[in-house]
Amino acid sequence: MENIEKLLSAIAGDYAHFCNDEKKAKEFYKNLELKRTRKYYIVVSAGKAWGFIQRYNDAKFRAGDILKAQDRSKPDRKFACGNVILKQFDNVSWNGA
């Protein structure tokens, strides 16, 4: 969970860089949520799925892989945008994985 907090901080940090307003960035960070499903953690921003974190290894992805949101309940499973366990947040932006 510590690395998930680092991911949320990276998302908020990118937002702070984008909006150049510390107060808005803190509010944005406070509104990030994490929901747990059977296969994924869903990162929610402003009521919408920001992205998904793979909970367990499967045939295509490793545990911790960050996936873009296809819609609010389904990840885009084309490729991973990073990995929480390996602290790979290079492709993270505030508006989506």
Q: With a threshold of 0.75, does the pTM exceed it?
A: yes
Question: Token pair for residue 24?
Answer: 């808005």
Question: What's the confidence (pLDDT) of residue 68?
Answer: 93
Q: Is the pLDDT at 97 greater than 70, yes or no?
A: no
C-alpha–C-alpha distance, residues 24 and 16, integer Å:
8
C-alpha–C-alpha distance, residues 88 and 97, integer Å:
12
